[in-house]
């Protein structure tokens, strides 16, 4: 299964951007979208596929955090 994740653009160099994804910086191809520094983008397979509002990006990140906590809690209960 593939999942797209949101991140915030912190730097742009041509068609590549440095994007902060959950406190990790990665290089993302931004050719498919019109984005600027400070925008949130949805990333799949190393490419930005959509520009998101800050609220939408934060909601998705909150869901990832909730899932991570649930997985952690379940794995702790197994031990």
**CA dist., res. 7 & res. 41, Å (int):** 6
pLDDT at residue 60 in the model: 94
Architecture of domain 5-71: Roll (2.30)
Residue 78 has pLDDT above 80, yes or no: no
Higher pLDDT, 76 or 9: 9
**Domain ranges in the chain?**
5-71
pLDDT tens for 8-66 read: 999 999 999 999 999 999 999 999 999 999 999 999 999 999 999 999 999 999 999 99
Tokens of 16: 């590549």
- Nearest in space to 37 (alpha carbons), one of 17, 22, 57, 56: 17
pTM score of the predicted model: 0.85
Q: For residue 7, is it left (φ>0), alpha (ψ between -120 and 50) or beta?
A: beta
pLDDT at residue 31 in the model: 98
């Amino acid at each position: 299964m593939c999942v797209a994740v949101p991140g915030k653009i912190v730097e742009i160099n041509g068609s590549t951007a440095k994007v902060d994804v959950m406190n990790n910086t990665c290089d993302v191809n931004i050719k498919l979208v019109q984005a600027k520094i400070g925008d949130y983008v949805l990333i799949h397979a190393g490419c930005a596929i959509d520009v998101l509002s800050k609220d939408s990006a934060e909601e998705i990140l909150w869901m990832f955090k909730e899932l991570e906590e649930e997985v952690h809690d379940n794995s702790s209960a197994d031990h």
